[in-house]
Amino acid sequence: MEDQIIRLCRAISTVTDAMGSVARWQEVLERILHALVHELGYRAASVRQLDAERRTLVLMGALNLSDDYLAKGAVEVERSGVDREVLEGRLVEIPDVRNDPRLQYPGAMVQEGIGSILAAPLSLKGQITGVLRVYSTQPRTAPETEKHFLMSVGKLTARALTSARHSEALLNISRQVNSSLDLQAVLTAILQRTVEELNYRGGIIRLVSPTGQQLELVAATGLSQAYLGKGVIEIERSGIDQRILRGELVTIYDVASDPGYQYPHEALEEGIRSVQSVPLIAPDRSEPGRRKVIGVLRVYSSQPHRFGDEEVSFLQVIANLGAIALQNARLYHELARRVDSLQPEEDGWHRLA
């Protein structure tokens, strides 16, 4: 018992060290898996992230599993009873993989030399983002201390991965903001990276029109032209956008039942169920020192999705970067306009000289 506690303490120390690492998320994950296998003596370990749009679990990293086993097929949530239970927030133990109907690929596990499994949720502030699995060679029943430990590792792994991946994404997006003055290209690149990173159905950025009465589309990704052309977004008819333009963060869990959504029928036809909107906030050019909302960043999920605090915070940072890109473009065009206006005067001085 004492030896097990020492090994658990060593492993948790390695995992928490990985959380503070500035390495790429792949390296963070590798250190966590290494701690589980080498400190605790498991046969192998793997981490899969939930793809909520396709209802599959996507492999993020694995240790001591063969290429043949990893290529056995997609892990589909609807066909894997084990993972459905884990995604509800519970640790699941399979003492013997040979006789448990909840497994999607029991034959492949036996061929791989796996006897038993422990599976824990990757949980971040109550939101389940994936599954951590550890594998043993022989059929076994794990002690309760080990199960509690693995649940804790699942939470730490979710936080470490989210932090590392978001940091990487923000670094890349920041580079894109400063790489071009083509506003539409920059905003579209920001959206594409965000949708890819957080695995959404699509996203848009709209800016307040010069009249202040509408929201005009400036960038979009992952959405059909039919949906984008569904109609004008009139601010006075959209209670949701009125709230966002007051600086609120607005979440819609189900567009079909939310009375404030302006085009619910078109959204359902597009395959949209949940929406998260955040404001684009920029300095107020008419009142130095003040800031104002100039537009909306919106992302869409095709599944009912509860947006976690980490997600929403990340989206707000992305919206702020979009506002910076907009400001950069405006400053450049204003400078170019002033240079053009000075050109005739400069030509006159040359002629006089």
Looking at the fold, whether 147 and 256 belong to one and the same domain comes out as no
Same domain for 317 and 199? yes
Q: Are residues 67 and 149 in the same domain?
A: yes
How buried is residue 289: exposed, middle or buried, by Cβ count under 10 Å (0-12/13-18/19+)? Answer: exposed
Residue 142 lies in a domain: yes
Cβ within 8 Å of residue 347, ≥6 positions away: none
Residue 103 tokens read as 């497994």
Q: What are 138's two structure tokens?
A: 């022989």
Look up residue 37 and give its DSSP letter. Answer: I
Q: Are residues 182 and 240 in the same domain?
A: yes
302 & 325 share domain? yes
Residues 6+ apart with CB under 8 A from 338: none
What is the model's pLDDT at position 1? 40
Of the three residues 108, 140, 165, the one that is the final residue of a domain is 165
Q: Does residue 57 sit in the same domain as residue 87?
A: yes
Q: For residues 42 and 133, give the distance between their C-alpha atoms in angstroms, rounded to a whole number.
A: 10
Give yes or no: residues 251 and 292 share one domain.
Answer: yes
217 contacts 206 by C-beta, under 8 angstroms: yes
pTM for this entry = 0.69
Overall number of domains in the chain: 2
Q: How far is CA 93 from CA 59, 97, 102, in A?
A: 20, 10, 11
User: d(Cα 216, Cα 124) in Å, to the nearest integer?
Assistant: 35
Q: Which two structure tokens, joined as six digits, stand for 236?
A: 């006075």
* pLDDT in the model for residue 2: 40
Where a domain ends, among 105, 134, 165? 165
CA dihedral 198, 203, 204, 205 (to 10 degrees): -10
- Please give the residue range of the domain that contains residue 185: 178-344
Tokens of 341: 């206006």
Which residues sit opposite 124 in a β-bridge?
127
The residues, any chain, with a CB within 8 Å of residue 327's CB and separated by 6 or more, are: 282, 283
**What is the distance between the alpha carbons of residues 117 and 35, in angstroms, rounded to a whole number?**
17
**What is the C-alpha separation between 119 and 37, in angstroms, rounded?**
14
Domain membership of residue 170 (yes or no) is no
Residues 148 and 231 in one domain: no
Report how far apart, in Å, the C-alpha atoms of 55 and of each of 39, 165, 261, 293 are: 32, 21, 26, 35
Give pLDDT < 70 ranges for the chain: 1-23, 176-181, 285-286, 289, 328-353
pLDDT at 272: 93
User: Domain for residue 287, yes or no?
Assistant: yes
At 143, is the secondary structure helix, strand, or coil?
Answer: coil
Q: Does any domain span residue 319? A: yes
Q: How far apart are CA 310 and CA 78, in angstroms?
A: 26
Question: How is residue 21 annotated by DSSP?
Answer: -
Residue 171 lies in a domain: no
Instruction: Write the DSSP assignment of 59-91 as a string of letters.
Output: EEEEES--HHHHTS--EEGGG-HHHHHHTTT--
Nearest to 295 by CA among 314, 274, 320: 320
- The percent of the chain in helix, strand and coil, each rounded to the nearest 5, is 50, 25, 30
- Render pLDDT for 100-156 as a digit per residue (tens, 0 to 9): 999 999 999 999 999 999 999 999 877 888 999 999 999 999 999 889 889 988 988
Last residue of a domain, one of 165, 196, 212: 165
Let me know if residue 353 belongs to a domain: no
Three-state secondary structure call for residue 303:
coil
CB 33 within 8 A of CB 44: no
User: Could you tell me if 15 and 83 lie in one domain?
Assistant: yes
178 CB neighbour count, 10 Å cutoff? 12
Per-residue model confidence (pLDDT) at position 105: 94
**260 and 143 in one domain?**
no
Residues 197, 147: one domain? no
Q: What is the CATH number of the domain that holds 272?
A: 3.30.450.40
Task: Answer yes or no: is 312 within a domain.
Answer: yes
